[in-house]
Amino acid sequence: MSNTSDAFLLANTVDFQKRVRLLLANVAADVLAESGSTSSHDTRAAYARTVIADLARQAERATLVVVARNLAAAAAAQQGGGHEGFSDAVVKSAIASVFNTLAGVSESEPIV
């Protein structure tokens, strides 16, 4: 199977989606607690509030972006039996690394 096919399977694993949902909420709470002087804080905080208000939908989107940005690792995890090989810290770090993109802070179009 191709990396994209395996990664897509991982992204559609209910338990992995639940982990991303919980950890996305955790990252959103971290953003809301950060200093207002943090770069792009207002945009990040607005997205964090969107995450809290519509967690299931935002987590679905975040799951796809996290997996797409980490395609080889996601495919390897799926081929190796699933997401359990990723610690919560690794998954949270992956979410945090795409949070600005999801919030619309990066040069890419916002996904909200």
Q: Which two tokens stand for residue 20?
A: 């991303």
Q: In whole angstroms, how large is the CA radius of gyration of the chain?
A: 14
Neighbours of 55 (CB within 10 A): 16
Task: Kindly tell me if the per-residue pLDDT of 83 is higher than 80.
Answer: no
Q: What is the pTM of this model?
A: 0.85
CB 92 within 8 A of CB 27: yes
* Residue 28 pLDDT grade (very low, low, confident, very high; cuts 50, 70, 90): very high
Which residue ranges make up each domain of the chain?
A: 3-103
CB 93 within 8 A of CB 101: no
Q: Which two tokens stand for residue 97?
A: 């690394």
pLDDT per residue as tens digits for the range 12-26: 889 989 999 999 999
